[in-house]
Chain A
Amino acid sequence: MNTTLFRKLVPVALLGLGFTTACQPDIEDQYPVSKGSADFTRYISVGNSLTAGYSDGGLYLEGQLSSYPNLLAGQFKQAGGGDFNQPLFTEAQSNGSGYLRLVGIVNGSPVTASVTSNLAVRSASPLLYTRYDGPVNNLGVPGIRLADIQTPGYGSTQGNPYFERITPTASATQTYFQRVKAEAATATFFTNWLGNNDVLGYATTGGASTAAASTITNTDTFRLKYNRIVNVLTANGAKGVLATIPDVTTIPFFTTVGPSFKATLQSKQVPGLIVMSGSAAGGAPGYTNRKPITTADIKDAAGTGRQLFTLTAAPFLPLVGTPTGRPWRYIYGQSGQPAIGFPLFLAAYGIDTTKVFGVTNENPIPSAFILDDSEQNAIRTALTSFNTTIRNKAAEKGLALFDANTFFTVVSGGGIVTNNINNTSAYITGNLFSLDGVHPTPRGYAIVANEMIKAINATYGASVPFVNAGNYRGVRFPQ
């Protein structure tokens, strides 16, 4: 090549190379963040275990960090939101209350074990957790029902250890309502997802208990208290989100065991079962609380049938057809009564453990293992009323509504795809529900946060960015 060539062609080449560095497209402003008519300066969250970030049957640090309020607050921060304080367990006590972990899968069945190290237990009896005395924005209290919000001493004398740890010692009998009222005075935005436990406790115990936490809250009581707490939350002009209550009968706690149990019974040509229903003893001679159900009536994966078996029933259902007292020893053990009372318990309920389990009046399937159709109807009636109350209140106050009931119905129908990952309500493999079959995984909470953001954006004309759900895990497997 000669110099003329260089002089004439090199500038053309340099022009080309020069543009290559400048050609990176920039679409960063594709989603201009806006708070719309909302104000995220001080966000508080009101609710129960779901709001606290409870997962895998316990409250622990990782779950707290991926609670939907914490994820929301992280997104709000991009739209002018302030700091969000949670009553976090420390790193040293990061396992909090303890929780379930998956140990392995044996013959297709999951095996779980409790995590008992690095707990934040400061007293075993009464059970108390390490206190948290800092400022709190996440007021989620595991176990709380709407019915409980005005119970004095709910944390202390009534003994909810999660409320106890955040209740100021100077006002130990403060009610949840009083606490919320105090926090709401300075809040600009809130989420409220109370009410699940007003049916959930009844459902997970199969309608078998008369304990207050295991009954369905009176619908009038629910309406009265729901209106009261939302009035307090909005008294200062704060805007927010109300969430409805999902149909608890679609969660893996109730949908995992039945289908395979039904298949087993069908293959053994067992036409039906005898189960107990409700909380009454109903023993001999009339066996008034015994209820025959047909095998065909057990709900399967296709949605055929009505009767639901709980996750807790799983270890005992293979015993159907053999004379055994094991299910009853388990049920009685749950009561915490001294072992000496077991024979009296059996007598009161008319149980004869020498008889064949599951198909006789003398040895039926315990009520706690099954949520039968009549119990489901009671739940459905209450849920409809509760959710009407919530929807009406949102409309009355012009608040955003996360219709969790509708959302989880869609999820249990076919699942929800996020970033090419399918998430369903299948136990363990569905990504959304944790090992307790009731509470979401971090992925599940991220998706819930996004659904709330959708509602916020729609109602308040905001553009809050979404959480990348793909960054959060489903069920953790043993390594």
Chain B
Amino acid sequence: MNLKTLLLAGGALLSGTAASAGGYQVTLAGIKNNGMGGVGVGLSLDQAAMFYNPGALAMVRERGVQLGGNLTFARNAFVAEGSTTQRELRNSISTPFGLFASFGPAEGKFRAGIAVYTPFGSTLKYAEGWEGRTALTDIDLKSIYVQPTFSYALTEQLSVGVGVTVLAYGAVNLQKDIALPDSYGHIELDGKAKTKVGYNAGVFFKPSSKLSVGISYRSKIDAQVEDGDVTFTGIGAAFASSFKATKFGATLPLPATTSLGLGIMPTEKLTIGADINYVNWSAYRNLEFAFNDVVGPSNFSTSKRYYQDAFTFRLGGQYKVTDKFTARVGGAYDNSPVKNGYVTPETPDADRFSGTVGASYAVNEHFSVDLSTQFVTFQKRSQSQQDLINNQTTDRIAGTYKTNIVIPGLGLNYNF
């Protein structure tokens, strides 16, 4: 397998899902990291460091390219308030991926690299005719960042790095039913985000062979859709005059993340990492759509989100069983940014626990394969109609959500 085929394989993997971090953030970059509970800010495992901590890239000795893909199997259950009927998703699979390539002199102090990854996303397809149909039936939110990165080792112990995060591709497809007096119509919003630029920076410090620490920051980018398409179906002639919009605009914040990481290497074979991520979710106040004509009573819609900043705690480790085989295990606890009474079907979020396992096999000096699997379980979360009335958030549905996700991943590494 050469670089070209790896890149071609990447083209087939274009999607994301709210999988491994609160809200619609996806922390799935680097299959090695995935096997260790998603730690990586305080480690210099491989090229995926560009995602976790660009500062660590200069400490990654190998130059090479790494391609990782995940399959997310999200399973969700919903029971409306006071109902005995359980609703389940029409199951779909999404494929968050990461591509990381680094270059630089073998003995030099810097590394340059390019990273392509999917930091935010959500894919959910609700059951036909479910109780929340007028809030949401389908959502497909995608983002792809391309991040040229430069990292420099100031000393043998201290390195810094910075990357330019380019929102190279962002897409939203949002569908819901419209309640008409005697039937339901349907609206589909489909748009592409404008290209936007932010940055990712980090510092990595390795005072001894047994200890390393890192800190990184990835800035906020507002994913902004202009001239998205609005399509109505199933609207009877009697109501057509109330649903005339053809275009929409909306902005969704892809919030800033600050991370702190610690690496401990007690022996040559054992590596333990611990990370704390802090995401500025409070940037997400309202979801607003502006339409070029009426959708129901108005050509503007706003819906309260009122997210709160949230922490994620991660712990994981790897053990080099043989020269060729490495085993990994880890776990994470995600604190949901969604407050009580504000849960929406787009992000039926709750505090989450993840358990992960992983393994690597080095086929030869240049080529190795990584596998990982994450098991994510969301805590059961209920909100009553009274909660919604109290918060003035009756544009969503009262009931109980529970979600589990399993995410197997496969990574291919080629070093040169």
Contacts and interface: CB of A to CB of B under 8 A. Distances in A.
A12 B359 contact: yes
Contact of B179 (A8, A28, A104, A470): A470
A399 B180 CA distance: 37
A465 B82 contact: yes
Interface size band for A? 35 or more
Interface stretch (B140-148, B222-230, B395-403): B395-403
B274 interface: no
Contact of A19 (B88, B129, B373): B373
Contacts, number: 141
A406 interface: no
A303 interface: no
B135 A468 contact: no
Interface residues on B, range: 35 or more
Contacts of A25: 75-77, 377, 380, 402-404
B203 interface: no
Given A1-B363, A31-B84, A477 B405 contact: no
A287 B271 CA distance: 102
A473 B181 contact: yes
Contacts of A23: 73, 75, 375, 404-406
Interface string B80-100: 111111101000000000000
Contact of B238 (A418, A420, A471, A478): A478
Contact of B359 (A9, A27, A78, A473): A9
B369 A5 contact: yes
A184 B104 CA distance: 91
A428 interface: yes
Interface string A1-45: 110110011001101110110011111101101000000000000
Given A5-B369, A477-B239, A478-B238, A419 B131 contact: yes
A474 B77 contact: no
Given A28-B79, A468-B131, A476-B182, A19 B84 contact: no
A27 B179 contact: no
Contacts of A17: 408
A479 B236 contact: yes
B238 A477 contact: yes
Contact of A420 (B132, B325, B363): B132
B278 interface: no
Interface of B: 73, 75-86, 88, 129, 131-135, 179-183, 236-239, 325, 357-359, 361, 363, 369, 371, 373, 375, 377, 380, 382, 385, 388-389, 394-397, 400, 402-406, 408, 410
Interface of A: 1-2, 4-5, 8-9, 12-13, 15-17, 19-20, 23-28, 30-31, 33, 78, 104-105, 417-422, 428-429, 431, 450, 453, 465-466, 468, 470-471, 473-479
10 contacts: A5-B363, A23-B73, A25-B404, A28-B77, A30-B79, A419-B133, A453-B82, A466-B81, A471-B129, A477-B180
